[in-house]
Amino acid sequence: MSGKLAISLVVNGERRELLAEPREQLADLLRGSLMLTGTHLGCEQGVCGACTVDIDGAPARSCITHAGSCDGATVRTIEGFADDAVMADLREAFAREHALQCGYCTPGMLIAARDIVLRLPDADEARVREELSGNLCRCTGYRGIVRAVLAVLARRRATLSS
Amino acid sequence: MKPAAFAYVRPKDWPRALQLVAEGARAGAGTQSLGPLLNLRLAQPGTIVDLRHLPGFSGISQRGGGVRIGAGTTHAAIEDGAVPGRTGEIMAAVARRIAYRPVRNRGTIGGSLAHADPAGDWVAVLPALGATAIALGPGGERRIPAVRFVSGIFETALGADELLCAIEVPVLPAEARWGHWKFCRKPGEFSKATACVLSVPAHPPRAVLAALDAPPLVVEDASALLADPATEAPHIVAHIAELTELTDWRRALAETALRRAVAAAVGS
């Protein structure tokens, strides 16, 4: 029962064969074994959202998702969105709207924001705030973040209707 | 913090999973409740048995008068309409307000119920809906009414050699009226008081009061509450206060939750 777990993952498009401690959470595997340190650890109890990554196409908390249970999964961390068009729009909007200061929450915030934009194309400000309630930011007061997400939603709606 | 060391096993079939549980392993599914407890070292199991990959662990099927929901079905799937009809409509609205979407993408209805946190959403809602928990043991399946499933704080009616494999919910008529109120100062946080009211034509209305550091309190005939919530809500809260110490503010939240759940059900 002891010894390491063999875990096979596709991370940011690349297949990785890894060995993990049985007690390891996904975030520690990504940061410690793959040096993907864009995934941040804040509360380690699923509340702050800094560790949010994409697992099999849906955002999830990597700090409370067991690495072993992800064997066979496809994981996308913030480093894996360089060529993603929605993420490019969000990055630009975050910069323009001052949606970050220290940047600690930003990787999780962006992955949550991308999910909102794709899943809820008609979301209004109240819905965006509700959906972002699982990502804590202690710098900005959220106004810039909400503006940035709403701007990307509005732009996508305009593009789709034209 | 990081979890204390444990062994991790991912069985391919139910008999092996049941054997591991009987030997004392802790069952894990989405681990959205267990994960934080492991990280905080409030839970230090020797072995975790991962149920996520068992056959039939998630998914929905129609069974006569009921809908069978695999225990491993995620809150997000329910939020997105996996359960059909009026029952599904009610459950989708409940699911949408469980924690946060990234948590709902992993967290499961069965895990939440079996974890039996008094503040858990399904712990309050499934008894109100008249659901049935399906336990799987060495001798096969056993049906446990949801109103009797959660027996204490983090305690259930599951035997030491059983696993929760599914939940069956009734197919409610379109006219079924539903009210649900939970007090959270911030969206997604643990409720400080939850009330549910279900009213189906030709049946007595049912009410549940939960999230008060005690198992959910089920009122099988809540006619009096619906007729006169202002008078009856304090009586119901007094029953809970016999089981657990309630501060004045908590008592006030509980009474208000009941009144608002009634108002929502009457208005729905």
Domain boundaries, chain B: 7-49, 60-170, 179-267
| Mean pLDDT value of segment B196-210 | 97
Nearest-CB residue to A45 (from B5, B40, B50) = B40
- Say if the Cβ atoms of A68 and B32 lie within 8 Å: no
Residues of B in contact with A66 (CB under 8 A): 8, 28, 31, 35, 48, 50
Q: Are strands A58-61 and B7-9 parallel, antiparallel or unpaired?
A: unpaired
The 10s digit of each residue's pLDDT in B65-113 is 899 999 999 999 999 999 999 999 999 999 999 999 999 999 999 999 9
CA–CA dist B25, A126 (Å, integer): 43
Average pLDDT over residues B257-268: 94
The predicted model gives A84-93 an average pLDDT of 98
Q: What's the pLDDT at B242? A: 87
The dihedrals phi and psi of B141, each to the nearest 5 degrees, come to -85, 150
For residue A24, pLDDT over 50 is answered with yes
Mean pLDDT (whole number) for A55-80:
97
Give the C-alpha separation, B5 to A152, whole Å: 44
Inter-chain residue contact B35 with A58, CB threshold 8 Å: no
Nearest to B161 by CA among B132, B140, B133: B140
Determine the average pLDDT of the residues in B47-56.
Answer: 96
- Report strand pairing: B47-50 vs B7-9: parallel
- CATH code for the structural domain at B179-267: 3.30.390.50
Asked whether the beta carbons of residue B35 and residue A63 sit closer than 8 angstroms, the reply is yes
Q: What is the set of domains in chain A, with CATH numbers?
A: 5-80 (3.10.20.30), 84-161 (1.10.150.120)
End-to-end Cα, chain A, rounded Å: 59
| B60-170 to CATH, choices 3.40.50.300, 3.40.50.720, 3.20.20.20, 3.30.465.10 | 3.30.465.10
The whole-angstrom separation of Cα B110 and Cα B163 is 10
Cβ neighbors of B26 (< 8 A, separation 6 or more) are: B34, B43, B45, B47, B48, B49
ipTM: 0.96
Query: Taking 70 as the threshold, does the pLDDT of residue B8 lie above it?
Result: yes
Sign of CA dihedral A114, B52, A67, B43: positive
For residue B268, what pLDDT is reported?
67
What is the distance between the alpha carbons of residues A145 and A97, in angstroms, rounded to a whole number? 7
Of B131, B165, B136, the closest CA to residue B150 belongs to: B131
- CA pair distance A130, B226, nearest whole angstrom: 31
Mean pLDDT in residue range B166-180 = 97
Give the separation between CA A9 and CA A17, rounded to whole angstroms. 7
Average per-residue pLDDT for chain B? 96
The yes-or-no verdict on residue A1 having pLDDT over 70 is no
Task: Let me know if domain B7-49 sits in CATH 1.10.3470.
Answer: no
Would you say residue A161 has pLDDT above 90? no
pLDDT the model gives residue A43: 97
Q: What is the pLDDT of residue B32?
A: 97
Is the per-residue pLDDT at B243 higher than 90?
A: no
| Residues of B engaging A, defined by a Cβ cutoff of 8 Å | 1-10, 28, 31-32, 35-36, 38-40, 47-48, 50, 52, 76, 99-103, 105-106, 186-188
Average pLDDT over residues B45-54: 97
Torsions phi, psi of A15, nearest 5? -75, 130
Residues above pLDDT 90, as percent of chain B: 94
